[in-house]
A and B are shown apart, each in its own frame.
Chain A
Amino acid sequence: MDGLKQRIIKAVQNQPQPTVTILSSLLAVEDELGYIPREAVEEVASLNQATINDVWAVVSFYPNFRTVPPCDHRIEVCWGPSCHLVGAMPVIASVLEAAGLEDEGDTPDGKLTIRYNTCLGACALAPVMSVDHHLAGRITPDRGRELVTETLKSTGSGES
C-alpha cells in the first residue's frame, strides 16, 4: 500500500506544467496508475487544499476516470457519426463478441477493457479503434475480431 501511495505522490508532484489543479493532478494519477484509487482522492484533496467531496465531484464528472484498477489491455472503439456511417456498429458487435462481453466494460478475468469512444480523431480512416493507445483505421468486423484475439494472446500489460 505504501508503494501505491508513493507512486501517487510522485505523479502528483512531478507534473510538467506550472498550473496544478485538482483535474491536472487526477490526470497525472490516471496516467501513472490507470485509475483513481481512494488514496489518490485523499492525496489530491490535501495537495490542492480541497475537500474529498470536491475531488470526487471531478472524478465522477469525467468518464475517462476509472475507480478500479485497470485491466492488462484496453481497446477503444469509436461509435461517433463518421465511424457509424461507414460501419462502426458491426465492428463493435464483433469486437465485443471476441472479448466475450455484452457491452462496454472489463472482461471478468481482468485482461481486457473495451470502451466506446466518441471520437479518436482519425475520422478520415473510419471506422477507427485503438489498442493500448495505438490507433488502427479502416477496421472491418473481421479485423476488429483479430485485434482482440491478438491482444488477448499477447502477454504483459499494454500500458508499458
Chain B
Amino acid sequence: MAADFLEIQEEALRRWEALTDGDSPWIRVGTALCGQAAGADQVIATLISELERQGLNAQVSRVGCLGLCFAEPMVDVLVPGQGRVVYGNVGPGDVGGIVSSHLGKGVPVADLVLGCIGEESGEGLPLLEQHPMKASEQRIALRNAGHIDPLDIYQYVANGGYGALNRALTEMTAAEALEEVNASGLRGRGGAAFPAGTKWRFLAGSNAPDKYILCNCEEGDPGAFNDKGILESDPHTVVEGIILAGYATGANHGYIFIRHGHDGPIERARAAVDQAYELGLLGKDILGTEFTFDLEVALTGDSYVSGEETALMEAIEGSRAMPRFRPPFPAQVGVFGKPTNINNVKTMAYVPEIISKGGEWFSGIGHDKSTGTAILCLSGALNYTGMVELPMGMNLNDVLNEVAGGVPGGKGLSFIQTGGPLGGVLSAAATDLVLDFDIFRSAGAILGSGGIIAADEDTCVVDLTRVLIAFCQYESCGKCFPCRMGMSHMLEVLERICRLEGTPDDLALMRNIGENMQAGSLCGHGQLGFNPVSSALRYFPEQFEAHIVDKRCPTGSCRVRHFSPRLSRR
C-alpha cells in the first residue's frame, strides 16, 4: 500500500493541532526508565482517578525523557491558550492539587513548578530553558524526547518526522544521501568514534544482493542510558535513521538489537516498527518508490560483550555472544555471512536531521573533528543527574559544575569515570578539557557512549577500580584466555589490596596481566580491560600506596562489604 506522504503529514498535523490547541488540556508524564524508577506509574494512576473524581477532562500521555531525570516524576501540563508548565518531583499526593488548581482554576501550583516551556505561564514562574541543565543544550538526536508520545507515529510526523526519508527517497540518489552523512563528519557514538560516512561507504561498495543494517542498543555500560533513553523517548527517529542508512548503502534488511529485560525500549521499538509498516514507511516499495526495507527487533540475553559488533552478530544468529576474528570485516562478511553495517542508536538518531538540514549544517556544530553534539548521561555524585545533549567543544568542567550543578553536600569532586567501565577514570584535576573524542583519548579517557559517573572526595578510587574490574571479570565472554583469566586474576589482586594485604609487587603483577590482555584479546573488552587500573594508577598512585604500604584506606570506603555475582559463564 503505497501511502502518499503528504496525506500522512496532513493527518498528523490535524491530530497534533487537536491535541495541542483543542478543547481539553494535554498532560504528559515522563515514563522512561528514569520516570518509572521514580514512580511515574503511580502518579499516572492517581492523575487519572483525580481527573475522574473532579469531573475534569484531559488527555494523558506517557512520554519519554526530558533529560532532567533527577526531577522525575515530571508532569507536563498544557492548558489550551496557555503555555506548557512542567512540574518536578511530583508525588501521588501532589496530583490532586495540580488537577484542581491548574486544570480546574487555571492557576499553576507554583511551588512544584520546575519551569515553563515556550512562554511564561504565570507570574514568577521560571522558564525551563533557563535551568542549568537545559541552558547549554542543543538538541538534535533528542529533539523530540519528552515532547511527543513515543507510541504515536503521527506525533513524530507532525514534528517533521519521516520528512527526511521522504526527501531522500524522492529527491536524492543513494549516493547523495550517503554524501550528506559523509559531509556531516558524524562519528560513531557507540564508543569507537569511527566516521559513519566511511563505514557506510564500505557497505555501499559491496554488490551483494543481501546487505544488512544493524542498530546497536545493547548498551551494557553501567552509567549509560542514552540509547535506551532515545528508543524510549523517540523510537521513530531511530527507525527513520536506519531506513535512511539502508537507502544510502543499498541494504534491504535491518535489526534493532536490544537486551532482553529492558521492557520499555523493547516495547516502544517494536511498536514503532509495526506503525512504520502500517503507514508504508517500511516494507515493499516504501512511499511508492522502488526502495524496499525490512526491519525487526532482535533481543540478546544478559551479556555485555554482545554489544561488540561481531559478538552482536553471533547473538542475532542465536549463538553465544562471542567476538569473531577480523578480517573479514562486517562490511564484507557480517550477520548471516552477508555484508553488514553496524551503528549505535545515537548515531542513527542523528541521521534524519542530517538529511533534512544537510551535512554542512551538522559539521558546523561541534569541535574540530568531533562534529555535532555529545549526548551525556550524568550520574553518581552530582546534583543534576540525567541525560543532556551538549555541543561538542564544551568544557568538561562547565558540564560538571554548571550543567550537572556540582557535587551534592558541598563536597569536592574526586574523579569521574567516563565511557563505560573500560574507559577508566579521570581525576578532578584533569577535567579541564573540552568534549571532543580525540582530546578525551589523548587524556587517557574515552568519551565513548557518553556515560559520566562522578565520585566525591569520600570515595576510594581503589574500591571503585575493584568494582569496575569485578564487572569486567563477570562480563568477560571467556573466548580469549588472557581476558578470561586475566580479569579474574586482576580482581583477586585488587581484592587483596582492598583488604590491605597487597604487596608492592602487586602493581607490577597487574601491569603484566594488563599487557597480556591487551595483546592477546580479540575485542575491546580484553584489549581495554586494563584501562580502569592503569588510569587509576596514573592519577592516584598515592591511594594505592596508602593501601599497600601504609595499610590504610584514606576514605575507609573499602571496608564496606562487597557483593558481586558469583555466577560465571560456563
Contacts and interface: CB of A to CB of B under 8 A. Distances in A.
A35 interface: no
B261 A64 contact: yes
Given A81-B468, A118-B474, A125 B321 contact: no
B113 to A, nearest CB: 21
Interface in B363-377: 377
Contacts of B224: 123
A3 interface: no
Interface string B303-320: 110000000000111111
Contact of B561 (A21, A83, A89, A135): A89
A81 B421 CA distance: 8
B270 A119 contact: no
Interface stretch (A5-13, A126-134, A145-153): A126-134
Interface in A59-105: 60-65, 78-86, 89-90, 92-93, 96, 103-104
Contacts of A22: 318-319
Contact of A85 (B261, B302, B464, B567): B464
A153 to B, nearest CB: 18
Contacts of A24: 298-299, 318
Nearest to A95: B563
Interface residues of B, number: 73
Interface in B301-344: 301-304, 315-321
Given A57-B320, A62-B301, A84 B464 contact: yes
A62 B321 CA distance: 9
A91 B391 CA distance: 37
A128 B37 contact: yes
The interface size bin for chain A is 35 or more
A156 interface: no
B385 interface: yes
A118 B377 contact: no
B488 interface: no
6 contacts: A58-B320, A61-B477, A62-B300, A96-B563, A118-B304, A133-B263
Interface of B: 33-34, 36-39, 41, 69-70, 72, 219-225, 228, 255, 260-263, 270, 294, 296-304, 315-321, 377-381, 385-387, 417, 421, 451, 453-455, 459, 464, 467-468, 471, 474-475, 477, 560-567, 569-570
Interface of A: 16-19, 21-27, 30, 48, 57-58, 60-65, 78-86, 89-90, 92-93, 96, 103-104, 116, 118-126, 128, 133-138
